[in-house]
Amino acid sequence: MKVFIYYIKRNIGWIAATLLTLFAMCIIMELNGVAFSEWIYGGVICLFLVLVIGGIDFFRYYNRHRELIKMQKVIKISVDALSMPGDQIEEDYQTLLQLVHEDKVKAVNDLENRRKDLMEYYTMWVHQIKTPIAAMQLLLQSEDTPKNREAAEELFRIEQYVKMALQYTRLDSETTDFLIQRYNLDDIVREAVRCYARLFIRKKISLNYQPLQVQVLTDEKWLEFVIEQVLSNAVKYTPKGSVSIYMEGSSTLVIEDTGIGIRKEDLPRVCEKGYTGYNGHTDKRSTGIGLYLSKRILEKLSHTIEIESEMGEGTRVKIGLITKEKIHE
């Protein structure tokens, strides 16, 4: 019905002209004394012909409409799929579409080139900043004082933010270096724990670690990064108490802390980009990027993440390590 209304609006001028012509013809016949039965007969025949021709034209219009609807998916990629124009107006519109499409392609290419330039710059910056960080770490290790230990802790945070920035730039890269094979999960977890050993000691947080004795099909480097992010939050939001690492079943790694917990209303959004929640507002250093990156990485590895928590009761992060068959296709 909607198509028919648009058709009427498109051809309202011709329809009006045809009806006025028929009306004028009837008036002229009446004035010339032509019998009513004769001119009404001629008028009906003319009206019938108009309806037949109009019906054929509407059928062609409707088919054209359906073709254009089908092309809407293809037109996003190329305008070459457009059929031959039916008249000069359609040809003019297709020329405009071609110009718009070419401008869009140019804008997309320019945007992609700028994005690649930025990614290359960020990657180069991340690698360059590692040198002064390493030098500062050596300088701070030369003398063991409370101030040096505090400065070393802050420098460690800077190093983690740099690592996060590098992983962020690599995540959507066309050359993401996933190396999927079977690894010993204990080796990956121990390496992540070793990274945060100083913070565990400094905050006097006990670690309850049960040997996992599990082989997992994953990428060692990326999974270790995820575990580091979870441990970072566990240490950050546990003023005192413990962090436990264990397996639930044969395929779920659990990292549980006795920290301040997460508000119920924040739980559904903690993995959103930039979302810090109530705890993040309390801790001004929170970026809201760690769990977002972790979820994105786990999705690419075909793993899962689930977070359970209650305010004041701690947090339990479950990482599902069952890898779908598509990973090693």
The distance of Cα 81 from the centroid of its chain, to the nearest Å, equals: 28
Q: Are both 205 and 273 inside the same structural domain?
A: yes
Please indicate, yes or no, if residue 197 is contained in any of the structural domains. yes
Please indicate, yes or no, if residue 267 is contained in any of the structural domains. yes
Tell me which residue has tokens 């960080």: 133
Tell me which residue has tokens 């101030």: 147
Range from 20-34, 239-253, 315-329 that averages highest in pLDDT: 239-253
Sign of CA dihedral 234, 239, 242, 248: negative
Q: Are both 320 and 215 inside the same structural domain?
A: yes
Answer with the one of 36, 53, 71 that is the final residue of a domain: 71
Q: What torsion do the CA atoms of 269, 274, 279, 285 make, to the nearest 10 degrees?
A: 160
Please indicate, yes or no, if residue 104 is contained in any of the structural domains. no
Answer with the one of 124, 146, 171 that is the final residue of a domain: 171
Q: Are both 190 and 309 inside the same structural domain?
A: yes
Please indicate, yes or no, if residue 107 is contained in any of the structural domains. no
Q: Are both 128 and 189 inside the same structural domain?
A: no
Number of domains making up the chain: 3
At 304, which CATH number? 3.30.565.10
Residue type, 229: Q
Range of the domain at 136: 114-171
Please indicate, yes or no, if residue 164 is contained in any of the structural domains. yes
Mean pLDDT of 159-176: 75
Task: Describe the crossing of helices 2-10 and 36-71 by its angle, rounded to 10 degrees.
Answer: 110
Phi, psi of 306 (to 5 degrees): -140, 135
Answer with the one of 129, 147, 171 that is the final residue of a domain: 171
- The more confident residue out of 143 and 304 is 304
Q: pTM for the complete prediction?
A: 0.62
Q: Are both 43 and 165 inside the same structural domain?
A: no
Q: Is 296 exposed, middle or buried (0-12, 13-18, 19+ CB in 10 A)?
A: middle
Q: Are both 324 and 185 inside the same structural domain?
A: yes
pLDDT at 207: 92
Q: Are both 219 and 322 inside the same structural domain?
A: yes
Measured between alpha carbons, how far is 323 from 289 in angstroms, rounded to an integer? 24
Would you say residue 321 has pLDDT above 60?
yes
